[in-house]
Amino acid sequence: MSQASQNLQLDKQGRLLHFLTIDGLQREMLTEILDTAEGFTGVSERTVKKVPLCRGKIVANLFFETSTRTRTTFELAAKRLSADVLNLNISASATSKGETLLDTLRNLEAMHVDMFVVRHASSGTAHFIAQHADPGVGVMNAGDGRHAHPTQAMLDMFTIRRHKGDFVGLRVAIVGDILHSRVARSQILALNTLGVTEVRVIAPQTLLPADARSLGVHVYHDLDEGIRDVDVIIMLRLQKERMRGALLPSEHEYFRLFGLTEERLAKADSGAIVMHPGPINRGVEMDSQVADGSKSVILQQVSYGIAVRMAVISMVIGSQNLQLQG
Position 65 confidence tier, pLDDT thresholds 50, 70, 90 = confident
Position 294 confidence tier, pLDDT thresholds 50, 70, 90 = very high
Q: What percent of the chain has pLDDT over 90?
A: 72
Q: Considering the entire predicted model, what is its pTM?
A: 0.92
For residues 294 and 290, give the distance between their C-alpha atoms in angstroms, rounded to a whole number: 8
Partners of 219 in the β-ladder: 201
Domains, the chain, with CATH or none: 3-147+303-325 (3.40.50.1370), 150-299 (3.40.50.1370)
Instruction: Give yes or no for residue 98 having a pLDDT over 80.
Output: no
Cis preceding linkage at 249, omega within 30 = no
Q: Are the C-beta atoms of 160 and 170 separated by less than 8 Å?
A: yes
Strands 232-235 and 273-275: parallel
Partners of 237 in the β-ladder: none
For residues 269 and 273, give the distance between their C-alpha atoms in angstroms, rounded to a whole number: 9
Q: By mean pLDDT, which of 64-68, 225-229, 283-287, 292-296 is the weakest?
A: 64-68
Q: What is the torsion angle, in degrees rounded to the nearest 10, for the CA atoms of residue 96, residue 98, residue 103 and residue 104?
A: -10
Q: What percent of the chain has pLDDT over 70?
A: 92
User: Which residues, including other chains, have CB under 8 Å from residue 303's CB and lie 6 or more apart?
Assistant: 44
Instruction: Give yes or no for residue 245 having a pLDDT over 90.
Output: no
Q: What are phi and psi of 234, to 5 degrees?
A: -110, 110
- The residue-averaged pLDDT of 210-233 equals 95
Can you say whether residue 308 is alpha, beta or left, with left for phi > 0 and alpha for psi between -120 and 50 degrees?
alpha
Instruction: Look at residues 61, 42, 24, 3 and name the one whose alpha carbon lies nearest to residue 313.
Output: 61
User: Which residues, including other chains, have CB under 8 Å from residue 20's CB and lie 6 or more apart?
Assistant: 5, 8, 9, 126, 127, 130, 139, 141, 148, 150
For residues 255 and 198, give the distance between their C-alpha atoms in angstroms, rounded to a whole number: 25
Write the DSSP string, 24-48. Answer: T--HHHHHHHHHHHHHHGGGGGSSS
* pLDDT score, position 264: 97
Q: What's the DSSP call for residue 280?
A: -
User: Which residues, including other chains, have CB under 8 Å from residue 32's CB and lie 6 or more apart?
Assistant: 315
What's the mean per-residue pLDDT of the chain? Answer: 90
For residues 69 and 207, give the distance between their C-alpha atoms in angstroms, rounded to a whole number: 25
- The residue-averaged pLDDT of 95-104 equals 70
Q: By mean pLDDT, which of 87-91, 138-142, 153-157, 229-233 is the weakest?
A: 87-91
Q: By mean pLDDT, which of 24-33, 56-65, 201-210, 247-256 is the weakest?
A: 247-256
Type of residue found at 14: G
In the chain, the N- to C-terminal Cα span, in Å, equals 27
Instruction: Look at residues 276, 277, 302 and name the one whose alpha carbon lies nearest to residue 291.
Output: 276
Position 322 confidence tier, pLDDT thresholds 50, 70, 90 = confident
Instruction: Give yes or no for residue 156 having a pLDDT over 50.
Output: yes
For residues 213 and 243, give the distance between their C-alpha atoms in angstroms, rounded to a whole number: 25
Query: Which string of b and e fits 226-239 if b means at least 16 CB within 10 Å?
Result: bbbebbbbbbbbbe
- The residue-averaged pLDDT of 295-320 equals 95
Burial classification of residue 221, based on how many CB atoms lie within 10 Å of its CB (0-12 exposed, 13-18 middle, 19 or more buried): middle
- The residue-averaged pLDDT of 254-271 equals 96
